[in-house]
Structures are given as C-alpha cells and as structure tokens.
Amino acid sequence: MYKILASLLATFVLALVLTPLVRRLSFRIGAVDNPNARRVNRIPMPTMGGLAIFVAFNTTNFFLLRDQYPLSQLVALLLAQSLIIMTGMIDDIFELKPRQKVLGITLAALVVYFIANIKMTTLTVPFLGVVSLGWFSLPITLIWILGITNAVNLIDGLDGLATGVAIIALSTSALTGYFFLNVTSTFISIMMATLVAALLGFLPYNFHPAKIYLGDTGSLFIGFMISVFSLYGLKNATFITLIIPVIILGVPITDTLYAILRRLLNKKPISQADKHHLHHRLMQMGLTHRQTVLVIYGIALIFSFISLLYPLSNLWGSILLTVATLFGLELFVEAIGLVGDTRQPLLNGIKYLVLKVSHLFEHK
C-alpha cells in the first residue's frame, strides 16, 4: 500500500514537472489555440497538455507499479493510448475533420477489443436473465468507447472543466469498483488512481486562468481511458454495472445527448459546433468563468453521490433512483435552456397541472 501511495505522489510530481515542458513544446510545434468566435481565450493558448498526463501516467505504470498489472494488458493499453495521443496531437497541430478523429478513436478501440480483449460480452436484462451479445459485442463496445470519448471531448470548453470532472468521475469509479462492484482485477482501481494523480498534477496549470489547455491530446485521452476502465466492469453487464458509469459521467453524457437533440430539433448537422453547451448556458446566465467551472464540478459531485447509492439499492430501488435522477435532470436542463428557451415540455406540464389544481381549489 505504501508503495502505491508513494507511486501516486510521484505521478503527481512528474505531471507537475512535465506540464511546463509540454507547454513550451506546444508553442514550438504550433499546437496553439488562437482566439476566435467559439473560443473563450483572448490570447493564443498552448494545447497538447494531455501529453504530460500521458507520459506521467505511463511512466508510473511501467517503472513504479509494473508488478501491479498484467504485462499483456499494460502493453495493449499503451498501444491503444498511443493511437489516441497521436490522433489528438495531430488535431491540436493541424485540426482534423470529425470523421478523421473518429477513425483514430476507432482504431484504438479495435486494439482494446481484439488485443487487450476488453469488451462487453453479455448483458443481464431485468426479468429476462442473461443475454449473450454475440456478434453485437463488437459494435456495442465500439459505440461505448466512441460515445464516452467524444462526450468528454465536448465538455473541454473552459479552463480546468474536463480535467476536474474527470478527476471526480475517475475517483468515484475507482472507489465504486474497488469496494462495491467486485471487479475481479483490483489493478483497474490502481490504474484509475494513477490517472487521477496525473490529472491533479496537471490541474494547477489548467485551472482558470489556464496556462495550458488539455487540447484534443488530453480530452480524447481522458475520455478514452474512462471508457476503457468502465468496460472492465461491463464485460458481463448488469443493470447496476451499466447504469453506474453512466451516472458517474452524467455531466459529459448529458451535455452530449442534449447537444445532439438540440441540433436535430434545429435541423443542423450533429457535428456542427455551437455555443449552447452546458458551460456556455451557465455563462450566458451571468456566471463568471470560474463560477461556471465550480458549479459544474458541483453537478459532477452530485452525480457521483447518486452513483454510490446504486450498490446499496435493490432492483426496484435502483429503478426509482434512475427515474428520479432523470426527472431532476430534465428539470435542470429545461430551466437553463440547454435545448432552447422555448423547449420546456416538463416545466410547461408542471405549470399546467399547478394552474389546474389551483383553479379546482378556487372553485371549491
């Protein structure tokens, strides 16, 4: 245990030392975000910060915690990570098209599926029992990795936002996997804790006012690793093991799903960027940059606390908890106008019922 704690501290320090070096490298090779209509930065900002996290994370895994992991898994994951990092670095320097980024993520996901052998194989459906996914295992696994990776990538819009949300999500996942879900391989929790340590070392440079951004190098890497970590608990997925990572990742998943819905309702391409994401809406309501980030951290913590209730609940309790969470989430989304100021079906329905009830009492 002392060795693991010492290694986590070393990872934190290594990320702390590497980040300024990566910052200089970013300027030198042109991995820079220049101000434009969609950016919040007003001066050129170095990106590619994820490279420092990647190096710190893997240095610890291979040199300090090597005996904690199966070598085959470590090497296969490094190969997949390298594909993601290369995709992100190329995008930070030259700006890839969406389909090109998807190709890079898909190649890394195929490494995870075929070489690391991390995949969904069965699904336990309530009242029906265990269902073998068969040929559907591959597309479902790929969709899961692509979805989570892109969800984290989409919320990387403010200083420290994706980094902090990832720290909260990974910390919760590590605790849940270790204490509640009986994941057979405890090395997953150790690996998640190592990534958290690397992110904590990077955060001081990334929090507002940021000195360096994650870039796609970082946001794709973090999202990809979160998706892969969650798959270890989803090999034989149940309702509980499937819903917990979804709840833990409530912030990026909510933002992504409602962004897709918003663009479909407005008859715009799903891949078309806009300034109506969760962080944009909160800032448009008058919150400062830092306040917005802290509010979203708070929302992420709420999701994390909710996720910890699932292992303590039975099936019906979990279903009721899910319904209550979705109800509260929809109220929040409509209140801040995430889909649009005029699209508030639940709020309008509640107002209608309140008016009807008040009229009944007035007539009495």
Instruction: Summarize the annotated binding site for Mg(2+) as residue ranges.
Output: 153, 216
DSSP of 38-94, one letter per residue?
T---SS-EE--THHHHHHHHHHHHHHTSGGGS-HHHHHHHHHHHHHHHHHHHHHHHH
Q: Which two tokens stand for residue 109?
A: 């996901």
How far, in Å, CA of 309 to CA of 286, rounded?
A: 33
How far, in Å, CA of 273 to CA of 259, rounded?
A: 9
120 three-state secondary structure: coil
275 three-state secondary structure: coil
- Strand-pair category, 45-46 with 236-237: unpaired
DSSP code for 18? H
- Amino acid, res. 239: F
**Residues contributing to the annotated binding site:** 153, 216
